[in-house]
Structure formats: C-alpha cells, structure tokens
Amino acid sequence: MQIPLTVMSLRRLAVILMALAGLWLLAADSQADEPVLSQAPAKVGTNPSVVRLENLTWTQVRDRLKSGTTTIIIPTGGTEQNGRHMVLGKHNFIVTETARRIARRLGGALVAPVIAYVPEGDPAIKTGHMAYPGTISLLPDVFEKVLEQAARSFKTHGFKTIAFLGDSGGNQASQERVAARLNDAWAKDGVRVIHVSDYYAKNGGEALLLANGETSQTIGTHAGIRDTSELMAVYPQGVDLTKAKPNEDGATGDARRASVVLGKRLLDLKVDAAMAQIQKEMRGQGKGKTVLSSDSGGQEPKTKGFMRWLLSVFFG
C-alpha cells in the first residue's frame, strides 16, 4: 500500500530529520575540543576548535600564538558544598563549559585549566561552606597570588589579553583587585587583564527566573534553582534532585524546580554577557574588533546556522 506524501507529512518528516541532525551536531560541537584517548596529542592539537590549554602540547601553543591566538581565559570555579543533591565541583564543571564556548566564539583564544581552589572562608574554622566536609578554601591573598602568577606566566609567553572568568561569588572581589593591579603595572606593555564581572553579576539570569514565575525565595542564593539547572545542563550526573530539600543542608531556594531547559538558557545568558564585556573592553584597547579565528569566521555556531538553513529549506 502506498502512503500519499502530503505537505503535512513532508513537514513532519523534515522536523524529525532536523531534530536528529541537530542533536548529532550539538553532540559533536560540545565534544569537539575533548581528545579521544586513542588519538595522539598532535592530531588533537591541529583541530582549531580545541581551545583548552591542557589538551595542547607546548609547540602547539607556540604555533597558536604565532598565528594570532593571544587571548587566554583563566576560569575560576571552586570546591564547595552544594547541598545533598549536587557535587562539590559544580562551579568547575560549569565554568569549564562556559569558558570553552566563550573562547570558541571569540576566536583567537585559549582556556587555561580551571582554578578550583578559591576563597570559601577561613580554612582553619568550620564556618560557612567550611562547615561541610569536602570544601576547600584559600584565603583571599593566597588566591590572588595564584591568579597573579598565572597571569604573569601567560604575559611572559606572549598573550596580550588575559580574562578572569569567575563562576563563584567569592572569587569576584579578588579577581577585580588583581586585574586592577596588573593593568596599572602593565599599562605600557600592551597587555590587558579583564575581570569579566558581567558573566557573574550582570547576566540576566535572575530576571529570567523571576519572569518565569519564581521568587527570590524559590530561586535562592546558593545551590538553588539557578546553580542546579546550570549543572544539569552540562553534567547531569552531578545532580540528584530526589535529595534536594528547600533551604536545608547548605542549599538555599528550591532546587527541585531546576531543569535542563532552564540551565541551557541560563548558560547562554552568562556566555552572552561575558562575550559582550570582553569584546567591548578589547575594542577599548584601540585594537578594533576582536579578530575571529578561521573555525568560527565571526559567524554564529555551526549548529545554529545549520538548523536555520534546514528550516528555510522546508518551511521557506
């Protein structure tokens, strides 16, 4: 028996094919900078979408610098309690992904290893996050020395723009102080340090949740809807919502209301806020617009462009 191909059935088929193709490309895009264990470092490093410094050899970093890759993002996360429902490395998983996305969109940028030891309170006293086993804390002056020495290392190698990207609130003040000190010291050296404050403080995430009907009480300030949703979007195995309890066990807000869909939207907002600030500050250096690498060409990510093309083909 032959089934007539109506316009409606063709459109349904197109939607199915489009969804499958989109999922495949998204998966490929999200893993593009991760080395395959059976793959030699030399082969991994020749892929221009590889942006994580730890996945490159020193000669590959040298060659990237020679070809114009002179921006380095230093992500800072944290190792802290996040309630019973979420792993200690929440910030590290999140900022690993957002930093990768920012670097690839910028072009001409690499991502340093995440700094996972950050200020969480006095490490000698069981107060705040330190009251919970597993939390690791540095005093602010120690953290600032780590940031400064990392930045100095990258300046020595030839990087011209160094961006501090902090996923935790306790990292922000130290990043701001170190960036200010180094900018004063390096004013004549053509090197700029950016504390990407908008990524954390002006990303519009809370406004999004409030517009969706949440309240300040349900959103919370730590390990609540926002943090939990973001981790679910990048590392779902790090979350167990069956163990989440509102305003208990070190968490605030109601994490049970978190979702992967919300997490993806919140991550997009953080990446967009960081991109806007970094590009604005780089233009302010008198070097014009950010130079984009060949893999991005200054265009939207390939997944979005592909999906838009498919829609135009089938739906006009």
DSSP three-state, residue 75? strand
The pTM (predicted TM-score) of the whole model is: 0.80
Q: How far from each other are the two terminal CA atoms of the chain, in whole angstroms?
A: 31
**pLDDT for residue 169 is more than 50:** yes
Q: What is the mean pLDDT of residues 216-223?
A: 97
Q: How far is CA 310 from CA 9, 295, 300, in A?
A: 16, 21, 15
Confidence of residue 212 (pLDDT cuts 50, 70, 90): very high
Token pair listed for 141: 């002056």
**pLDDT for residue 310 is more than 70:** no
For residue 10, tell me if it sits in a domain.
no
What confidence score (pLDDT) does residue 48 get?
Answer: 79
On the 0-12 / 13-18 / 19+ scale of CB atoms within 10 A, 22 is middle
For residue 302, tell me if it sits in a domain.
yes
**pLDDT for residue 160 is more than 80:** yes
Handedness of CA 99, 203, 148, 76 (dihedral sign): negative
List the domain range (segments joined by +) for residue 308: 47-315
Token pair listed for 111: 């991502």
Percent of the chain with pLDDT over 70: 75
Confidence of residue 46 (pLDDT cuts 50, 70, 90): low
Alpha-helical runs (H) found in the chain = 7-30, 41-45, 58-66, 90-106, 140-157, 172-185, 198-201, 205-211, 216-219, 225-234, 260-282, 302-315
Angle, vertex CA 276, rays to CA 273 and CA 277, nearest 5: 85
Name the nearest CA neighbour of 72 among 97, 109, 101, 44.
109
**pLDDT for residue 165 is more than 60:** yes
Lowest mean pLDDT among 87-91, 219-223, 303-307: 303-307
Q: What is the mean pLDDT of residues 126-153?
A: 97
For residue 224, tell me if it sits in a domain.
yes
For residue 79, tell me if it sits in a domain.
yes
For residue 1, tell me if it sits in a domain.
no
DSSP 241-269: GGG--TT-TT--S-GGG--HHHHHHHHHH
Q: What is the mean pLDDT of residues 230-237?
A: 98
Are the CB atoms for 89 and 79 separated by under 8 Å?
yes
For residue 188, tell me if it sits in a domain.
yes
Confidence of residue 204 (pLDDT cuts 50, 70, 90): very high
**pLDDT for residue 284 is more than 60:** yes
Tally of domains in the chain: 1
Q: What is the mean pLDDT of residues 137-145?
A: 98
Tell me the residue length of the chain. 316
Q: What is the mean pLDDT of residues 16-28?
A: 46
24 CB-near residues (< 8 Å, 6+ apart): none
Q: Which CATH number do you get for residue 205?
A: 3.40.50.10310
**pLDDT for residue 194 is more than 60:** yes
For residue 179, tell me if it sits in a domain.
yes
For residue 29, tell me if it sits in a domain.
no
Average pLDDT along the chain: 85
